[in-house]
Structure 1
Amino acid sequence: MKKGITTKRIPVSPEEAANALREMPQWIVEKSRIYRDFRFENFKKALAFVNRVAKVAETVRHHPNILIHEYSFVRIEIYDHLLAGLSNYDILLIKAIERGLGK
C-alpha cells in the first residue's frame, strides 16, 4: 500500500478554504485556486525549496503547480485537478508544506 493520506476527497468552497487558512494569511484564496509567493536569496535556494515542496507533495499525494521566476521567486499554486476546484486535499497539502517549512 502506498504511503500518504487516505482521506476522501471533498469539495471546499473558497470561503471554507479561506477560513481553514485564516492563520496563514500568506496563502491567497482566489476563486478555485490557492497560491503563495516566496522569495529567496538566489536561484539555488529557490530550487532547494521547490525540491522540499515536491517531497511533501509526494507524501500527501497531491501535487501543486510550481513556478520559479525572475531568478529567486517561487509561486506555489494549488487546486484540485480532479474536481476542477478546491478540495480538502488542498488544505492538507498547504498545512503539510507549512509544517515542512517549520512554521
Structure 2
Amino acid sequence: MPRLSESEIAQRLEGGAWRRDGEAIVRDLTFPDFVAAIAFVDRVAAQAEAENHHPDILVHGWNKVRLTLSTHSEGGLTPADFALARQFDALAP
C-alpha cells in the first residue's frame, strides 16, 4: 500500500483526535480508571489482530492510553493507518 502525501495526511488529520508525530499518527485517551483503560486496550488488540495491522500501545499513569499507528513496512503513513484509526475511534468511549 503506497504512502500518503503530506497534503493527504494533513487532510485526514483535520478536525480529528489524532495528531502527527513524525512518520506516525498518535491519539491519547483518558479513562475513568485502570480497568476501563485495559478493557479499551483489549478491544483495540482484537480489532488490530483482525486487521493484521498493529499499533504501538502505551498504558501510562493509571488511566491513560496512547495509540501510535504507522505502516512500518512502507516507512510511513498509508490509508490503512487512517482506516484503523477510525475503527479505534469507534471503540473509544
Question: TM-score by structure 1 length?
Answer: 0.80
Kindly state the Cα deviation for residue 16 of structure 1 after the two structures are TM-superposed.
Answer: 1.3
- With 51-60 and 93-102 compared, the bigger mean Cα shift is at 93-102
- The residue that corresponds to 2:5 in the other structure is 13
TM-score by length of 2: 0.88
Q: What is the distance in 2 between the residues matched to 1:101 and 1:69?
A: 17
Gaps of 5+ in 1: 1-8
Stretches of structure 2 lacking an aligned partner (at least 5 in a row):
none
1:44 paired to 2:35? yes
Q: How many percent identity over aligned positions?
A: 34
2:38 & 2:90 partners in 1: Cα distance? 18
Q: Distance in 2 between matches of 1:14 and 1:54?
A: 28
Write the distance in 1 (CA, Å) between the matches of 2:7 and 2:22: 9
Structure 1 outlier segments of 4+, above 4 Å: none
CA distance in 2, matches of 1:101, 1:11: 26
Moved more, 10-19 or 38-47: 10-19
RMSD: 1.6
